[in-house]
Chains A and B, each alone.
Chain A
Amino acid sequence: MALDDRFHNRDFKVVGNRVTRPDGIDKVTGRARFGADMTAPGMLIAKVLRSPHAHARINGIDTSKAEALPGVKAVVTYADFASAHAPDDDNLVNCMAKDKALYDGHAVAAVAAISTAVARKALKLIEVDYEVLPHVTDVDEAMKPDAPVLHEDAQDESVPAGTPKNVVRRYEFGHGDVDAGFAQADKVIERSFRTEAAHQGYIEPHACLASYGSDGRADLWCCTQGQYAVRAMCAGMLGMQASDLRVTASEIGGGFGGKTTVFIEPVALALSRKAGKPVKLVMERSEVFRASGPTASTSIDCKIGMTKDGRITAGRAELRYQGGAFPGSPVEFGAMSGFAPYDLENVQAIGWDVVTNRPKQAAYRAPGAPMAAYAVESVIDELCQELGLDPLEVRIRNCAHEGTLSPYGVTYPKIGLEETLKAVQSHPNWTAPLGPNQGRGVACGFWFNFGGNTCVSLNIDEDGTVSLSTGNPDIGGSRASMSQMCAEELGIPYDRVRCSIADTSLLGYNDVTDGSRVTFAVGLATIKAAQDAIKKMCGRAAAIWGIPEDAVEWEDGCAKPAGPNAGEHPPMSLAEIAAVSSQTGGPIAGHYECNADGAGVSFATHLVDVEIDPETGFTKVLRYLVAQDAGKAVNPDYVEGQFQGGAVQGIGWSLNEEYIYGEDGRLQNAGFLDYRIPVASDLPMIDTVIVEVPNPGHPYGVRGVGETSIVPPLAAISNAVSHAIGKRMTQIPMSPPRIVEALEG
């Protein structure tokens, strides 16, 4: 049976419906409990002392005066972790500075006290002996031979000998012969681009409540994208057994990748261990900006050759990403993904991972990909402009299909890129008339999508309802989509399923809610767990009917006799089987665990029109269209929401969001006033087209949809602005002063 038949001929009853989310009432009434909403009897309040210096050696920390302050119950520094852990865990040294403060905002000590006021006062009594060192925050500056060095030993063997020490990793991807490709081109354009660091900008600051008992066991409540990863990291840092630490994920107020790691959780645990009381630690907004994990800033050179009829003959990019004070910038993903939408004979991408005196980057929605796409899609746009070609037709001509060898070495299975391009081509926005000072931009984007470790259980309750337990925080409606897939597979109504997010003691390890993995991988495991339960229910029915198990089939939520020798038995519904389960062998449950593969890559095409005020450089977004392949949209409302949210984050990054460091290496805009995320009045409605080219790796054809939507906007908007003003823009964000500069330059 052809794959497409399997998906397209399936008559979905619940999947594909715009159902109301099960946690909805809690979230519109204020009842839902987020990170900072939990309290415990006898709870202390913690505050963190942070370095005011971008780079400084810590010669000593004197906490005695703080400890003597009435109401202070514990003070911790790196020394409180060191005995329990190996010396060079980057995550630990990021959570609490060891011998050097590596960026403005780097934690150096923390206090737990009976009130916020006392904790604040205590911070002022901690004396840190800093020896201020030269600093560097710019990626290109950090790569120079005379740049201040952050770490003597962070460079690995991927980097050629003699390269300056802040360059810590090198990656290379591609195939073919790019020089030969460029020789075949009628036009070759090479440009250099810069993008500034953006922050995920989740509205909920990091928050946790730690309670460490005298028996060496601890409970941790926190807002996180992955309670199991938090457990693993914290247990390691505190020298605990994983099973002695139970982590419960609160409702989470946004993450976008920024809550895939730990910043304050180990600190709260250490304070609680020392004080012997529960400790609540909540970041202030300025701390979120200074000391959580924004994305990389980048500097990229990109060169592409094209024939005069629009065939791309070769593409080459050299990408330099700074990921803050430790190795791990997402340059590898950037180098893999920039050319991924295209079927290229000759392609090469080289990535350099660079450390600077900035906070350690964390994932941000399709980490690394938007910047690489910005460079590639900008140069393709300029080639189309120079050669007088239609940018959509050129992309359709060159786009990847099933069987295309991707630049990162994978041959694509069935994908939906061309379908997104054609959806844009047939959308009214593509032909809407443009006025003066207006410009139109188009760009494509790619994201890998992840699968990963997944463990799901479901219980068939005695009244015929189903309790589904998954291990991934519901960051944007996943309880609904899991319940839909569970109901679909079991053949019962959506409202008979209740999905709960398990704490770490209840299920096996689930990877973090990241990589757009949850609807795909947890959905897949949910379907398989439902099939497991179905098998057991068929067995129970078979026992009741006295026929072999394989003579029973499951259809429309009922066990039915199947085949000529099964006999005549009325179907038994899930509820009927559940009601008598105590007489047929006890409770019925389904379970599935896997390391999910086959996530199915994702592509999108975005189209945007802007209008520029040529006197002030102000950009107004007039209309915006997202067309993206969802494989199968389980809940179209929330798929559209992902498309729209990602696009708007990209709009913000393109126009106004940036980390601004002063000469002193201090962050200048650590607040929502000057870190300017889009507000409602900045935007038009965001139009969406859901393309559905089923993912062969998922029973229902689902692909992850969360991340791809942030990949094209930087390029799409830059292309639109460039057309509106008649000058090619090469730096993100395109803030008004930069646009005025371009116009006058």
Chain B
Amino acid sequence: MSQIHVTTKINGDETEFLCGPEETLLDVLRDHLGMTGTKEGCGTGDCGACSVTVDGRLVCSCLMLGAEAEGHEIGTIEGVAKGDELHPVQKKFLDHAALQCGICTPGFLVAAKALLDRTLEPTEEEVRYWLAGNLCRCTGYDKIVRAVMDTAAELRGA
């Protein structure tokens, strides 16, 4: 089985990798690049634990082949903080206790950041629908939604 050579940018870093044609971007991140912050909860796009951005757009990395990443910019949970400085939404997740077990948290944070990159004035309903593709079984979503709303308020200086 011939491997495909892919050149991409991950969290701002030029990255090259070889992958099998059937391997997903999630497989590549976790198994080839050691970036295990992106989680697999279902492998079928139903849980959002593997959320990443591709050219700024939120996608499930389990629903994309590694080969499709050629020439695109990928953003993962490992790139949400800038060095030691947490992104405000990461801080708010801690402040609001918006995680219990933490397995869905990377996907929620990548998704929430993608929302906040588009708008700082989301309504509660918009937050809930934007995040509907990210399953959380621990929290009942209450504290997650509050954390995202509070981040938006802080970022818009309210």
Which A residues form the contact surface with B (CB < 8 A)?
A: 18, 20-21, 23-25, 27-34, 36-37, 117, 200-205, 251-256, 284-285, 475-477, 635, 637-638, 640-641, 644-645, 647-649, 671-673, 677-681, 683, 685-686
B138: which of A31, A34, A476, A683 is its contact (CB, 8 Å)?
A: A476
Tell me the nearest residue of chain B to A201, going by C-beta. Answer: B137
Tell me the smallest distance from the CB of A471 to a CB of chain B, in Å.
Answer: 18
Interface SS of chain A: loop
15 examples of A-B residue contacts, CB within 8 angstroms: A29-B80, A29-B86, A251-B103, A253-B39, A253-B101, A254-B100, A254-B137, A637-B96, A637-B143, A638-B97, A645-B100, A645-B140, A648-B139, A680-B144, A681-B132
Tell me the nearest residue of chain B to A20, going by C-beta. Answer: B94
A252: which of B22, B80, B101 is its contact (CB, 8 Å)?
A: B101
Tell me the smallest distance from the CB of B114 to a CB of chain A, in Å.
Answer: 15
* A-B contacts besides A204-B103, A673-B44, A685-B145, 4 pairs, CB < 8 Å: A30-B78, A203-B103, A251-B102, A671-B44
Query: Which residues from A are CB-within-8-Å of B42?
Result: 285, 671-672
Q: How far is the CA of A511 from the CA of B136 in the complex (A)?
A: 26
Q: Does B28 contact A (CB under 8 A)?
A: no
Interface size range on B against A: 35 or more
Q: Are B141 and A680 in contact (CB-based, < 8 A)?
A: yes
Query: Which residues from A are CB-within-8-Å of B128?
Result: 680-681, 683
Query: Which residues from A are CB-within-8-Å of B40?
Result: 36, 205
Query: Which residues from A are CB-within-8-Å of B129?
Result: 680-681
A31: which of B37, B39, B103 is its contact (CB, 8 Å)?
A: B37
A25: which of B76, B86, B104 is its contact (CB, 8 Å)?
A: B86
Q: Are B36 and A30 in contact (CB-based, < 8 A)?
A: yes
Tell me the smallest distance from the CB of A347 to a CB of chain B, in Å.
Answer: 33
Query: Which residues from B are CB-within-8-Å of A679?
Result: 132-133, 135
Nearest 5 A/B pairs, CB to CB = A30-B37, A253-B103, A648-B140, A27-B102, A637-B97
Q: Mark B59-81, 1 if CB is under 8 A from A, else 0.
A: 00000000000000000111011
Q: How far is the CA of A671 from the CA of B140 in the complex (A)?
A: 20
A644: which of B39, B86, B140 is its contact (CB, 8 Å)?
A: B140
Interface SS of chain B: loop
Known contacts: A117-B20, A252-B101, A253-B102. The answer to whether A683 contacts B141 by CB under 8 A is: yes
Known contacts: A204-B41, A645-B138. The answer to whether A28 contacts B100 by CB under 8 A is: no
Query: Which residues from B are CB-within-8-Å of A205?
Result: 40-41
Q: Are B97 and A18 in contact (CB-based, < 8 A)?
A: yes
Query: Which residues from A are CB-within-8-Å of B22?
Result: 117
Tell me the nearest residue of chain A to B103, going by C-beta. Answer: A253
Q: Are B125 and A681 in contact (CB-based, < 8 A)?
A: yes
Tell me the nearest residue of chain A to B49, going by C-beta. Answer: A203
Known contacts: A28-B93, A671-B44. The answer to whether A37 contacts B36 by CB under 8 A is: yes
Tell me the smallest distance from the CB of B51 to a CB of chain A, in Å.
Answer: 12
Q: Does B152 contact A (CB under 8 A)?
A: no
Tell me the smallest distance from the CB of A308 to a CB of chain B, in Å.
Answer: 39
Q: Does B142 contact A (CB under 8 A)?
A: yes
Q: Are A30 and B140 in contact (CB-based, < 8 A)?
A: no
Q: Does B131 contact A (CB under 8 A)?
A: yes
Query: Which residues from B are CB-within-8-Å of A28?
Result: 81, 86, 90, 93-94, 99, 105-106, 109
Query: Which residues from A are CB-within-8-Å of B37?
Result: 29-31
Q: Are B77 and A30 in contact (CB-based, < 8 A)?
A: yes
Q: How far is the CA of A27 from the CA of B93 in the complex (A)?
A: 10
Known contacts: A20-B95, A37-B36, A649-B137. The answer to whether A27 contacts B41 by CB under 8 A is: no
Known contacts: A204-B41, A476-B101, A477-B97. The answer to whether A641 contacts B141 by CB under 8 A is: no
Q: Does B10 contact A (CB under 8 A)?
A: no
Q: Does B122 contact A (CB under 8 A)?
A: no
Query: Which residues from A are CB-within-8-Å of B139?
Result: 641, 644-645, 648
Q: Are B131 and A680 in contact (CB-based, < 8 A)?
A: yes
Query: Which residues from B are CB-within-8-Å of A635?
Result: 97
Q: Does B150 contact A (CB under 8 A)?
A: no
Q: Does B53 contact A (CB under 8 A)?
A: no
Q: Are A203 and B41 in contact (CB-based, < 8 A)?
A: yes
Q: Are A285 and B41 in contact (CB-based, < 8 A)?
A: yes
Query: Which residues from A are CB-within-8-Å of B35?
Result: 30
Tell me the smallest distance from the CB of B108 to a CB of chain A, in Å.
Answer: 9
Query: Which residues from A are CB-within-8-Å of B104?
Result: 203, 253
Q: Does B38 contact A (CB under 8 A)?
A: yes
Query: Which residues from A are CB-within-8-Å of B90?
Result: 28-29
Q: How far is the CA of A678 from the CA of B39 in the complex (A)?
A: 20
Q: How far is the CA of A256 from the CA of B43 in the complex (A)?
A: 22
Q: Are A477 and B100 in contact (CB-based, < 8 A)?
A: yes
Q: Does B47 contact A (CB under 8 A)?
A: yes
Known contacts: A641-B138, A644-B139, A645-B138. The answer to whether A29 contacts B78 by CB under 8 A is: yes
Q: Are A29 and B77 in contact (CB-based, < 8 A)?
A: yes
Q: How far is the CA of A683 from the CA of B137 in the complex (A)?
A: 13
Q: Are B137 and A202 in contact (CB-based, < 8 A)?
A: yes
Query: Which residues from A are CB-within-8-Å of B93?
Result: 24, 28
Q: Are A285 and B101 in contact (CB-based, < 8 A)?
A: no
B5-35 residues at the A interface, CB under 8 angstroms: 20, 22, 30, 35
Query: Which residues from B are CB-within-8-Å of A685?
Result: 142, 145-146
Query: Which residues from B are CB-within-8-Å of A647?
Result: 140
Q: How far is the CA of A477 from the CA of B98 in the complex (A)?
A: 11
Query: Which residues from A are CB-within-8-Å of B78?
Result: 29-30
Query: Which residues from A are CB-within-8-Å of B30?
Result: 36-37
Query: Which residues from B are CB-within-8-Å of A254?
Result: 100-101, 103, 137-138
Query: Which residues from A are CB-within-8-Å of B97?
Result: 18, 21, 477, 635, 637-638, 640-641
Q: Does B134 contact A (CB under 8 A)?
A: yes
Q: How far is the CA of A21 from the CA of B101 in the complex (A)?
A: 11
Tell me the smallest distance from the CB of A264 to a CB of chain B, in Å.
Answer: 15
Query: Which residues from A are CB-within-8-Å of B142?
Result: 640, 644, 683, 685-686
Tell me the nearest residue of chain B to A650, going by C-beta. Answer: B140
Tell me the nearest residue of chain A to B37, going by C-beta. Answer: A30
Tell me the nearest residue of chain B to A687, going by C-beta. Answer: B142
